[in-house]
Amino acid sequence: MRQHVNPLSQFFQLPLSLPSKNILFEKSHYPIHLDIGSAKGEFLIELATKHPDWNFVGLEIREPLVSLCEKKRIKLELNNLKFLFCNVNVSLGEWLSDFDDGQLKRVSIQFPDPWFKRKHYKRRVLKTNLLNSIAKSMNKDGEIFIQSDILKLFDSMTNTMDKSEYFNRKEVRDMMRLDKNPYNVKTDRELYSLKKNLPIYRGIYIRNSLLFID
């Protein structure tokens, strides 16, 4: 399976009509945690198992991984979890507009593709338009959690977040060295980085009370 795909290629620019939350979940009124770039899905599978009173959605641009995750989810009979294929920077905004006010409580973006070359920075997932789509559907005190084991990428992510009118950094003793994943569940990449004693850079941002203006 290819580890990277170019999100700017013509194939991924076609907006997808994602299923509404009422179709995805039996209990569609539960709060939603959205994981952008869900990869092999183990993070969300563990969270969904531990928290049956939440709904979880994993969005992934690599379609074969989505198929693999859905097979795992169905086998485990996790009805509060769904994995979907899409390019979030193309399809997320319209889909989020279906959510009830304040239902989107948490978003996580963990170890996204770094796209090291400067000419490829535009392929990185965290963009202002994506943040605006999330802000529009998230009420005060909703949160975005980001983490990476690549400092330059983390700096790029925090720069984008810090420029947002709608999210403020959560005050912690040292933002660059947040001790652990706040959900007490680790991604595959996180486990790998810890095993190799690589530094992990983490941050939490909280939705402020500023009303979204189109």
Active site residues: 113
Max Cα distance, the chain (Å): 44
Q: What does the alpha-carbon distance between residue 47 and residue 183 come to, in Å, rounded to a whole number?
A: 8
Strand partners, 104: 32
Q: What is the DSSP string of 34-60?
A: EEES-TT-HHHHHHHHH-TTSEEEEEE
Give the sheet arrangement for strand 167-169, strand by strand.
81-85, 55-60, 32-36, 104-110, 143-148, 201-207, 167-169
Q: In this structure, are residues 36 and 90 in contact, taking their beta carbons and an 8 Å threshold? A: no
58 beta partners: 35, 83
Q: What is the CA radius of gyration of the chain?
A: 16
**Residue 20 near residue 98 (C-beta atoms within 8 A):** yes
